[in-house]
Amino acid sequence: MQLYLLALNPTDSVSDGYLPAASALGLDVTILSDDPEPHRLRHPGVDAVRCDVRDPETVIAAIAAGPAPAAVFTNSDHLQTPAAVAAAYFGLPGKDWRTTLRVNNKAEMRRRLAAAGLGAVWSAELGPLQDPATLADLDVPLPCVVKPREGVASEDVYLVHDVEELVLRGKHIRQRRPEVSLLVEEYLPGQLCTVETLGDRQRRHVLGGFRTTLTPPPHFIELRHTFVAAHPPSVLAQVNEQLDALGIGFGACHTEFVVDKGEARLIEVNYRTIGDQCDLTLRDVLGIDLFEHVLRTHLGEPLAADLGLRTGVGARIDHVCAADSGTLRAAPSALTDAVDGVDLTYRPLRAIGHHHQLSFTNRDYVGVLRTVGPDSATVDRVADRFLAEQRWEVHP
pLDDT tens digits for 72-108?
999 999 999 999 999 999 999 999 999 999 999 999 9
Parallel/antiparallel/unpaired status of strands 335-339 and 204-214: unpaired
Residue 44 clears pLDDT 80, i.e. is over it: yes
Q: Is 140 left (phi over 0), alpha (psi -120 to 50) or beta?
A: beta
Helix (H) or strand (E) holding 298: helix 290-298
Residue 153 clears pLDDT 80, i.e. is over it: no
Residue 394 clears pLDDT 80, i.e. is over it: yes
pLDDT tens for 292-314 read 999 999 999 999 999 999 999 99
**Cα dihedral 371/377/382/383 (nearest 10):** 60
Cβ-proximal residues to 190 (8 Å cutoff; 6+ apart), any chain: 258, 259, 260, 261
Residue from 230, 223, 224 nearest 196 by CA = 230
Percentage, residues of the chain above pLDDT 70 = 100
Reported residue count of the chain is: 396
pLDDT for position 122: 95
pLDDT for position 152: 80
Averaged pLDDT, 187-198: 96
In this prediction, residue 221 has a pLDDT band, given cuts at 50, 70 and 90, of: very high
Average predicted confidence (pLDDT) for the chain: 95
Averaged pLDDT, 124-129: 92
Q: How far, rounded to the nearest angstrom, does the alpha carbon of residue 199 sit from its chain's CA centroid? A: 17
In this prediction, residue 11 has a pLDDT band, given cuts at 50, 70 and 90, of: very high
Residue from 42, 130, 83, 56 nearest 295 by CA = 83
pLDDT for position 236: 97
pLDDT tens for 336-384 read 999 999 999 999 999 999 998 988 888 899 999 999 999 999 999 999 9
Residue from 66, 60, 64 nearest 48 by CA = 66
Parallel/antiparallel/unpaired status of strands 182-186 and 69-74: unpaired
Global confidence as pTM: 0.95
Describe the chain by its helix, strand, coil percentages, rounded to 5. Answer: 30, 30, 35
pLDDT for position 83: 98
Helix (H, G, I), strand (E, B) or coil at 41: helix
Residue 316 clears pLDDT 80, i.e. is over it: yes
pLDDT for position 22: 98
Domain 122-186 has CATH 3.40.190.10: no
The radius of gyration of the chain's CA atoms, rounded to the nearest angstrom, is 21
Averaged pLDDT, 202-218: 96
Task: Identify whether the C-beta of residue 188 lies closer than 8 Å to the C-beta of residue 123.
Answer: no
CATH of 2-92, one of 3.40.50.20, 1.10.10.10, 3.30.365.10, 3.40.50.300: 3.40.50.20
